[in-house]
A and B are shown apart, each in its own frame.
Chain A
Amino acid sequence: MKRALPPLVVLVTVLGAWTFVSYGVLSPRRRFLLPPVDEVVRVGFLDPENRAELVAGLALTTRVAGTGLLISAVLGIGLAVVMAQSRWLERAVYPYVVVLQTIPVLALVPLFGFWFGFGFPSRVLVCVLLSLFPLVANTLFGIRSVPKAQHQLFDLHRAGRWTRLWKLQLPAALPALFTGLRIAAGGSVIGAVVGDFFFRQGEPGLGVLIDNYRAQLASARMFAAVVLASGLGIAVFLVFGALARWAVGRWHESADG
């Protein structure tokens, strides 16, 4: 409770300033620039029809981000494991993973629409592109961080590739892997919202809703959608943070054969 108090003070201050600007600074005609908090809540969240639309958008965006993250996790951890098997493979593949991180991925997004249509698959692909790199890089770093003497211990017992991977490298990589997962999850949410801006067609996710409300000057609902998108990002951050603490803090037992 003591630790929750300082950020709570800041939150109340910000909400207070927001309300002051809406009612005190902006004239009623220009109030749409920053609709007051109570209006955002009333129009965005309490009106059943608007709420249904926002919740459907949130559900879609969550599903897109989740699917993208899942694919990235499988692909990213898989790639890292493959690259860890040989320096040659790492040299062959890693540059392209880095390229993925350095090019402006969002510039490619219209291209995906062009190739794969404007539906679910394209949106998921944007999430994958934004979340793959941190997973590959962190997992590989984790696997490579195993001290030489621990490898020698496994050498001494003539451990095979899989045994070494399963009992030594992957458990050792877990903390780094979870760090990567946390960063990737944030990237995936961003991808799901931003991807929407390019895919106006099809079912509306939060990004589409934000853009539609903006076009309609429905600013209370737009703010509600922004709040939901932010909330999703924060929730993902907290969930994966807790997951990481659990993985590193407890040093939970590696899978027993």
Chain B
Amino acid sequence: MNSFKIFFSLLVILVLQGFVSQVVEAQESSELVQYRNFFGIDARLVVWIVSELHLMFAAFVLGVPMFAVTVEIIGVKSGDIRFDNLAREFTKLLSAAFATTAALGGLLSFCLYGMYPGFMRYMTDVFHPIMFVYALLFFAEAFCLYGYYYSWDILKEKGKWFHIFLGIMLNVFGTTLMFLANSWATFMMSPDGIDLETGAVTSLRAAFDNFLWMPVNLHRLIANVAFGGFVVGAYAAVKFMGSKSDDDKAHYDWMGYIGNFIGLAALIPLPFAGYYLGREIYSSSPVMGNIMMGGAFSWTFIIQAILIGMLFIGGNYYLWNGMDRIEGAERYRKYIPFINIIIFFCFAVWLTPHNLPLSGEERALIGEQYHPFSKFFGVMAAKNAVVNLLILSTFFSFLIYRRANKGEIVKFSQHGNSARIALIITAGLTILYLVWYAMGLRGVELEANIKQYISPLILCIAIQIVAIVVTILMTFANKGKAAQILLLFVTVLIAVVYLAYYGFVVMEKANMVLRFLSVTQVSVVISCLIVNAVIDVFLFKNAKEVGKIRWGKIPLRSQYALLLLCVAIVTLMGLMGFIRSGLRMNWHIYGYMQDTSPGAFTPSISYMGLATALVVVLFLALVSFVFWLAGLGEKKKSSSNA
């Protein structure tokens, strides 16, 4: 008790001393204070930790409602009460995390205004109208969330669709809030609507809708879903491992599967959104782009590659182990070794850096700047190819998982006209997009000697369109499985084999074309994923089941994989947050307002690693605590029932 008193007294003295020193410091200076620290701790470090924690909670709070509402709608449509219960459980976690997000947001604002008063004064000058809207929208989001959560039972029988409407509005307000706050962060990276000499605001609209705003919006939107999915997956894994009854085990096994499914489904388009953001960073400032991919931040992208690799491997590993509980899955196990080899090969290429750490002796033995491995694997042409192959392989894992207990299928022609129409609309829209992009490529203004390298890209898109048409016709002729294989094969041939080779050609002859090549690759792969996924839905609709799915009978290893996925995505978000913010180097607002505080240096990789690890541990501890609190009521209920 005495030691506690001594500790408490010391703490009070320390805090008071901090306050006094701040006051004295402020009084001594007759000028406006630009920077303060947090009781001796570097302001940048404090803001770094608080903002990352706020963003992680916010990602969860924004990501989860998207799939909570989706799951609820599936529940209504299918009439399966399990979906409704699952959506409710998601929302329970959501409402528990919501208050923490708001508290962290408040703390972040006070930290920023307290420690960076000069910079925040300017940001307030520019964005004050939007800040008011932000605060008002927060009310709307809070009302929708509480309305959604607490009206679950009241609106269960009558007014279910109104309940869903509340959920949709929760998403609308939440996403708008994020978009508003994103504009402040991206304004700092690519300022617009101000005079870069004087700082005078020339257009609030341009400052808000700055160059990197939409790419960051898109990237964060998808990343939030992946983040929410994997965090929910880990929650389910912990609950699964602690469950005593078979029913609970079955429920949490299923919840973990849904979490992993959502996480992986969002992870698949994430590299494309990331590429779009990266490309726009290059467009906004080629120097910032070079700092990111080839300069001070290049090594952080190797860490990113490792984390993304872990996510893909972990996600696939979970699916493969999940096949253990599906009767009939043994028919598809023969594909696993091949997918495994492909995924690890892709991972190896994906993380090979262009510049390797070499000793002097190794450099002398190699005799040139680059070892062939890094020369060929370390550049975008190879990396784009393997990331697309990684995505296609994971998609293939999904396909075999889905059909693991399915036997004889119903002929496509027996599904009737609605199936045909759905397929025609899907293929039509996909082809329309491909045609639109190909037309755009034709119209690109480039010098004649460079433009000639665009034609093969248009040809690739044309071949993909033909492949899609043939695939659809084959599906109509009841050869859906073969059609899926054909489309996958053509896609791999174009997006992975040919465009990887062609990537090296254009890198040498016309690197301007590389950016169009990457988008072509993405478009071809996405078109294959969409068309094949829709075919798959109809192909196995009402198919005979050769066995049951024994929910709850999954190996424990898979649950550890879910925990690993959660740690990996949290670390990834921490790391990418640092990169996005750190790219400004010593600028508060890139090219206009310099950061002259002592903490403006670009951190070393080890410093960054320690700070990010601290953020990850803090977030996981906090989120575990919040989830534990959310479960207290449930425990009480079950004990009183007993």
* A and B from one complex: no
* Residue positions of B touching A, CB distance < 8 A: none
Contacts from A to B (Cβ < 8 Å): none
